[in-house]
Structure 1
Amino acid sequence: MPDTAITPDPRAPYDHIGVEERLGAHNYRPLDVVLARGQGVWVWDVEGNRYLDCLAGYSAVNQGHCHPRIRAALIEQSGRLTLTSRAFRNDQLAPYFEELCALTRSHKVLPMNTGAEAVETAIKAVRKWGYEVRGVPEGEAEIIVCAGNFHGRTITVIGFSSDPETRGGFGPFTPGFVTVPFGDAAALAAAITPRTVGVLLEPIQGEAGVIIPPPGYLRAARELCTRHGITLILDEIQTGLGRTGKLLAEEHEGIEADVTLVGKALSGGFYPVSAVLSNTEVLGVLRPGQHGSTFGGNPLACAVARAALRVLVEEGMIGNAARIGARMLAALRGLGAPRVREVRGRGLMLAVELHPDAGGARRFCEALRREGLLCKDTHGHTIRLSPPLVITEAEADWALERLARVLAGPTPEAPPPGR
């Protein structure tokens, strides 16, 4: 018998934070709240304290925590068939493709698991399209990206990040990317060369602090890509599936991308699901054996995604995001708190940027946690707000009361170092 038990002593209080800090890699800096249960917009910690979740798993939980219809689909499918690999067909994949294409007006789907995998898949497909269809010499393809981007954490993706914290110590990086300022159509036009095969951008830069480009920018990018015969790739992993008050954020400017990346809310927060949406010309260059994923398109993922899409549409969550988002944006802009530099947002993708002399957004997120509101700081001075799309007017007003109290009140104490 081993000297120590595998499971902790149930009679002793369990030190979740201490054990996590001791045994886990320190690649995250979470708020010190240990969550144990969730329902709708609410979550409860291990001590029974209730919080309104204003992050929603970076938009993965758009449909609310533990949505009963998605949970039922997960449970039902998990008792029938969970994984076949793509070596065989399964009875959930074709209906998933059909429903996703009908909803998003896409012609082809390549199923993956995580957002980063979807981005990597798009890069591979568009490069291959550039060589085989557009005639770019092998090994010379370039994809234009935007400063301030966040497309994931893989080596290729961080290689074209402009955030030194993301890049530092991880090189050498994958070549073939050209960076231009976000929101600058003239800079984008000037960067296009005969080697350019695609433009990859977020309709709104979420991780950068909900940075919204000038009106007409996406339309200009679409026109440039059409004129030069290159692909427009929109990373809608956070902005898509209702977050901005439209199914896809591209709809705000009435355009359609050549390649659209979705994930996060495609799972309803239950199971990793992502997809590359495109057409036969782009995805048709991939042949058997050239790309794949053991779990991509598995029957459990497909069943979950089908349910996640149905509740998003049938329960009016997209329209609710537009209505409640406008209400929250107006209220936040009307606070008049001196330490607030700017409030930005579209739908339920909101950000409160503080003046640098406010002492950093982290301390305000800590104070909001003590008020029962869970938010996320980003880039030092910005508080991100992205509650589940099922939030009601009463719940939004509850959150706004606490935001007003903390933002207009005394400056909170700084969190301890490393916390």
Structure 2
Amino acid sequence: MNDRLHPTATRLSPIELEARYGAHNYHPLPVVLTRGEGVWLRDTEGRRYLDMMSAYSAVSFGHGHPELVAALTEQASRLAVTSRAFHTDRLGPFLERLCTLTGMDRALPMNSGAEAVETALKAARKWGYKVKRIPDGQARIVVAAGNFAGRTTTIVGFSSEAQYRDGFGPFAPGFDSVPFGDVAALEAAIGEHTCAVLLEPIQGEAGIVVPPPGYLRAARELCTRRNVLLICDEIQTGLGRTGRRLAVDHEEVVPDGLTLGKALGGGLLPVSAFLAREDVMAQFTPGDHGSTFGGNPLAAAVGLAALDLLEREQLAERAAAMGERLIGALKALGHPAVAEVRGRGLLVGVELAPDFASARAVCEALMAEGVLTKDTHGTVVRLAPPLIVDAPQIDFAVAAFARALKACGG
């Protein structure tokens, strides 16, 4: 029998179907999820798991939040996509709320986080040429080693991770990389043709790396003094994840440009945005940049509902309290396999001792204990639950983590 004509006759499992027909660009844990509610997920066998990953912060409000689902379904029944060829009644209120909440002058809506970063790069370069008067084609942007801003060829081109770059060049020029958290290196890298510095306030994919106190404030002062834009990538850290509305708020820093995404879509659809001060965003004129789906009514309705929920439920404050409980409990384990616990709010990384089991093995053991999360770089277990998580659920996760360590030989 030809399985191209009769695919169901193969009777492959969902995991086998992915392996057979999908590109092998992911290595998921061996679990097949089918439902989600709040902080909980269920697999096809009916087992329940505590979500300690939140889809890399995209599910900050929990799975299937009734208010966000209602906003989605109500808007979908009225009007979903028109393109930006026309005005809609949803986009303006969303942009107003987004700018008011972040203190930025203007916002440009996109879809994925990588698109928001690409938008920021274009804006920074054009500002450099038109405002700072950098000679054409010579603008440079300073980035930090260990960064992760997406998977486009431009973005992986300034990554310091060899695998992200291998086989995908040639890459766009114009980027200078410096060690994350090193103010002296940052200052040395800024030259007369530098138009922007792009930083994550906390590096997520690098292993939840928190910079030294005062780093962001020093970067802000340096950029102001050297007439360089400070652009902060808050796609993972923004919207309450670190215990403040934005991670830069911990040092009372106001960037010139800001990227948001993930949680902005309420865990229901991709919504992102580049926000900036007036003179930076003014560099875009009709025809310079756009997106068919960016700013669509469906995205705007959900994004607006998500922002309202964030404030009304005081989820940033909740993340601060629950994050303190999580970090404190993990440190209190005193386990020799735990080399370091680091993070802020509900963005936490547990660095494992080099002679212990891999972080992947610990995540598999956690899965057996009813907790789902993912490792990064083979040595760090990330713990970043939905911001609606409560104290008993935090305690459940920590107890499961202790048992997982023991199962892995600790």
TM range (shorter): over 0.9
Pairwise mapping of residues 103-182 of structure 1 onto structure 2 (< 5 A)? Answer: 103-182=101-180
Matches of 1:106 and 1:7, distance apart in 2: 51
TM-score computed with the length of structure 2 as normaliser: 0.98
Task: Calculate the aligned-residue CA RMSD, in Å.
Answer: 1.4
Matches of 2:153 and 2:302, distance apart in 1: 29
Task: State the partner residue of 2:38.
Answer: 40
Matches of 1:8 and 1:327, distance apart in 2: 48
The answer as to 2:236 corresponding to 1:254 is no
Q: 2:381 aligns with which of 380, 383, 390?
A: 383
Matches of 2:264 and 2:359, distance apart in 1: 29
Task: State the partner residue of 2:298.
Answer: 300
Identity of aligned residues (%): 57
Cα distance per residue 1:361-385 (max 9 Å; x no partner):
1111001001100011111111001
The alpha-carbon deviation at position 13 of structure 1 amounts to: 6.6
Task: State the partner residue of 1:416.
Answer: none
Contact 1:209 1:379 in 2 (8 A): yes
Task: State the partner residue of 2:364.
Answer: 366
Contact 2:365 2:407 in 1 (8 A): no
Q: 1:75 aligns with which of 66, 73, 76?
A: 73
The answer as to 2:275 corresponding to 1:277 is yes
Task: State the partner residue of 2:95.
Answer: 97
Task: State the partner residue of 2:184.
Answer: 186
Contact 1:147 1:180 in 2 (8 A): yes
Cα 1:33/1:410, change in 2 over 3 Å: closer
Cα distance per residue 1:255-283 (max 9 Å; x no partner):
11000100000001101100011122001
Contact 1:99 1:306 in 2 (8 A): yes
The answer as to 2:404 corresponding to 1:406 is yes
Cα distance per residue 1:214-245 (max 9 Å; x no partner):
00000000000000111000000000000000
Matches of 1:160 and 1:4, distance apart in 2: 41
| Unaligned 5+ runs, structure 2 | none
The alpha-carbon deviation at position 359 of structure 1 amounts to: 2.5
Task: State the partner residue of 1:216.
Answer: 214
Matches of 1:6 and 1:29, distance apart in 2: 27
Matches of 1:309 and 1:381, distance apart in 2: 34
The alpha-carbon deviation at position 8 of structure 1 amounts to: 3.3
Task: State the partner residue of 2:62.
Answer: 64
Matches of 2:58 and 2:158, distance apart in 1: 24
Matches of 2:400 and 2:74, distance apart in 1: 40
The alpha-carbon deviation at position 313 of structure 1 amounts to: 1.2
Contact 2:207 2:349 in 1 (8 A): yes
TM-score computed with the length of structure 1 as normaliser: 0.96
Matches of 1:151 and 1:128, distance apart in 2: 20
Matches of 2:407 and 2:343, distance apart in 1: 23
Task: State the partner residue of 1:8.
Answer: 8
The alpha-carbon deviation at position 408 of structure 1 amounts to: 3.9
The alpha-carbon deviation at position 404 of structure 1 amounts to: 1.4
The alpha-carbon deviation at position 296 of structure 1 amounts to: 0.5
Cα 1:348/1:190, change in 2 over 3 Å: same
One-letter code of the match for 2:270?
P
Cα distance per residue 1:125-149 (max 9 Å; x no partner):
1100000000000000000000000
The alpha-carbon deviation at position 7 of structure 1 amounts to: 7.1
Cα distance per residue 1:132-185 (max 9 Å; x no partner):
000000000000000000000000000000000111111100000000000000
Contact 1:216 1:253 in 2 (8 A): yes
Matches of 1:72 and 1:15, distance apart in 2: 33
One-letter code of the match for 1:367?
A
